[in-house]
Structure 1
Amino acid sequence: MSQDWPSWLPLRGNLRELSAYGAPQLPADAVLNTNENPYAPSPELAQAIAARVLTIASTLNRYPDRDALALRTKLAEFVNNLSATSFTSKNIWAANGSNEIIQSLFLAFGGGSAIGFTPSYSMHPLIARVCQVAWTNGSRRADYSLDIDSAVAQIQSSKPSLTFITTPNNPTGSAVTLEEIEKLAINTPGLLVVDEAYAEFSDEASAVTLIEKYPHVVVIRTMSKAFSFAGARVGYLVAHPSVIDAMFLVRLPYHLSALTQAAAEVALDFSTELLATVDQLRSARNQMAQELEELGLTVLPSSANFLLFAGFEQSSPELWQALLDRGVLIRDVGLLGYLRVTIGNVAENKKFIDSLSACLGVEI
Structure 2
Amino acid sequence: MTDEIQRLLRDDLRGRSPYGAPQLDVAVRLNTNENSYPLPGEVAASIEKALSGVVRDLNRYPDRDAVELRRDLANYLGHDLDVANLWAANGSNEILQQLLQAFAGPGRTALGFTPAYSMHPLISASTGTAWVDGHREADFGLSAERAVDQVTRHRPDVVFLCSPNNPTGTALGLDVVEAVLEAGTGLVVVDEAYAEFARDGVPSALRLLGGNPRLVVTRTMSKAFGFAGARLGYLAADAAVVDALQLVRLPYHLSSLTQAAARAALGHAPTLLSTVAAIKEQRDRVVTELTRLGLAVAPSDANFVLFGSLADSKAVWRSLVDRGVLIRDVGLDGWLRVTAGTPDETTAFLEALTAVLKENP
* TM-score scaled by length of structure 2: 0.96
Q: Which residue of 2 aligns with 1:57?
A: 55
CA contact (8 A) 2:6 2:14 kept: no
Which of the residues 158, 163, 168 maps onto 1:167? 163
Deviations 1:298-323 (A, max 9, x none): 1111100000001223x221111100
Which of the residues 135, 138, 151 maps onto 2:131? 135
Q: Which residue of 2 aligns with 1:94?
A: 88
CA–CA separation in structure 2 for the residues paired with 1:4 and 1:348: 42
CA–CA separation in structure 2 for the residues paired with 1:4 and 1:28: 33
Higher mean C-alpha deviation, range 210-219 or range 323-332: 210-219
Q: Which residue of 2 aligns with 1:333?
A: 330
CA contact (8 A) 2:147 2:176 kept: no
Which of the residues 238, 250, 256 maps onto 2:248? 250
Q: Which residue of 1 aligns with 2:294?
A: 296
CA–CA separation in structure 2 for the residues paired with 1:275 and 1:21: 29
Query: Are the structure 2 counterparts of residues 8 and 145 from structure 1 closer, same or farther at C-alpha, using a change threshold of 3 Å?
Result: closer
| CA drift at 1:241 | 0.5
The residue type paired with residue 86 of structure 1 is: D
Q: Which residue of 2 aligns with 1:122?
A: 118
Q: Which residue of 2 aligns with 1:107?
A: 101
| CA drift at 1:9 | 5.0
Q: Please show how residues 289-328 of structure 1 align to structure 2 within 5 Å.
A: 289-313=287-311, 315-328=312-325
Q: Which runs of 5 or more residues in structure 1 are unaligned?
A: none
| CA drift at 1:183 | 2.0
The residue type paired with residue 333 of structure 1 is: V
CA contact (8 A) 1:64 1:257 kept: yes
The residue type paired with residue 185 of structure 1 is: L
Which of the residues 341, 349, 352 maps onto 1:355? 352
| CA drift at 1:283 | 1.3
The residue type paired with residue 14 of structure 2 is: R
Aligned length: 356
CA–CA separation in structure 1 for the residues paired with 2:310 and 2:124: 34
The residue type paired with residue 160 of structure 2 is: F
CA–CA separation in structure 1 for the residues paired with 2:246 and 2:338: 37
Higher mean C-alpha deviation, range 108-117 or range 6-15: 6-15
The answer to whether structure 1 residue 23 and structure 2 residue 17 are counterparts is no
| CA drift at 1:120 | 0.3
CA–CA separation in structure 1 for the residues paired with 2:135 and 2:18: 24
CA RMSD of aligned residues (A): 1.4
The answer to whether structure 1 residue 38 and structure 2 residue 36 are counterparts is yes
CA contact (8 A) 1:5 1:16 kept: no
| CA drift at 1:188 | 2.3
The residue type paired with residue 105 of structure 1 is: L
Identity of aligned residues (%): 50
The residue type paired with residue 307 of structure 2 is: F
| CA drift at 1:147 | 2.1
Runs of 4+ in structure 1 displaced over 4 angstroms?
Answer: 3-9
Deviations 1:114-164 (A, max 9, x none): 100011000000000010001101121111111220110110110011000
CA contact (8 A) 1:96 1:256 kept: yes
Q: Which residue of 1 aligns with 2:182?
A: 186
